[in-house]
Amino acid sequence: MGRAYRYRGRRRRRVPYSVYRLIATCIALVVVAAGAAVKDGFTVFQPYTSAISQHLPTALRVSPKPASQTLTGRATVIDGDTIEIAGQRIRFNGIDAPESAQRCKDASGRAYACGRDAANALDGFLAESRPVSCRFVDWDQYGRFVGNCTRIDGRSVQQWLVENGHALDWLRYSHGAYAVQEDMARSARRGVWQGEFQKPWEWRAAQREQAAPATASPSVSLFGQSGGCNVKGNISKKGERIYHVPGQRYYDRTRISPGEGERWFCSEDEARASGWRKARQ
């Protein structure tokens, strides 16, 4: 009878229990973090979703809620309808003030800087009762916090601006919330109602139309009566929104594609207020 051979296979090494425990702990941490992100409206991923959503169709855009529904603090005035609190740009909900570069006519028919007047009036109003609080309504297309704002004494900032003729009731978003205040300003001929003016949203549209021919023909001047909308708002490959002004190194070679979220601005103030930064060269 032949010799019996015993199969000697490789012995399987036991995985230490500590390794399994480490893996389980990591999985638990990932689950908890994901749950927290969902609970807070994806605020953890807000910088990424906001940037990505700018390039998506409106129906597919991500609209994360802010970490806090209310922002309170000392406000810096950007223009007549935009402020900044602790680095966050805030656009007043339901109203529209003249743009920084916009000019209107007073009762005598003389041109004046109504956009600058609106910003100065807002600054004075806020200084009388600080701080200001803004309750979140939505994010706008430029990534700004849109909110309803009040001073510490409870007075509505939007109502005051419209009532004193420094802003208009923007029916498209307000649904007539400030119609009464606008009627009061018109009757008393306050602010822009003292003379002739173009509604801010119509003024912006006119400036865009004025600048449009310049993209098609270099021989057409970029400059109109108000200086023209010659500031180029470009979106980089990294999704960063950068604006270029005439004379900068890459201004001439920069092309604007509105279908990709890029746009023209009528002033640097308007570009900054919309959340864009100036190109470094």
What domains can you pick out in the chain, each with its CATH number? Answer: 18-60 (no CATH), 70-194 (2.40.50.90), 200-278 (no CATH)
Inter-CA distances, 219 with 215, 227, 236, Å: 10, 16, 27
The mean per-residue pLDDT over the stretch 62-87 comes to 86
pLDDT score for 217: 40
Secondary structure class of 220 (helix, strand, coil): coil
Residue 224: pLDDT band (50, 70, 90) is: very low
Residue 17: pLDDT band (50, 70, 90) is: low
Cβ atoms 79, 269 nearer than 8 A: yes
pLDDT winner (highest mean) among 95-99, 138-142, 223-227 = 95-99
- Average the pLDDT over each of 123-137, 225-239, 261-275 and give the range with the smallest value: 225-239
pLDDT score for 138: 94
Specify which residues 232 forms β-bridges with.
Answer: 244, 264
Q: Is the pLDDT of residue 191 over 90?
A: yes
Q: Is the pLDDT of residue 265 over 50?
A: yes
Question: Taking the CA of residue 155 as centre, how many other CA atoms within 13 Å lie in the half-sphere pointing to its CB?
Answer: 16
Q: Which residue has the higher pLDDT, 122 or 222?
A: 122
The mean per-residue pLDDT over the stretch 4-9 comes to 50
Q: What is the pTM of this model?
A: 0.59
The mean per-residue pLDDT over the stretch 190-198 comes to 97
Residues of the chain with pLDDT > 70, as a percent, come to 71
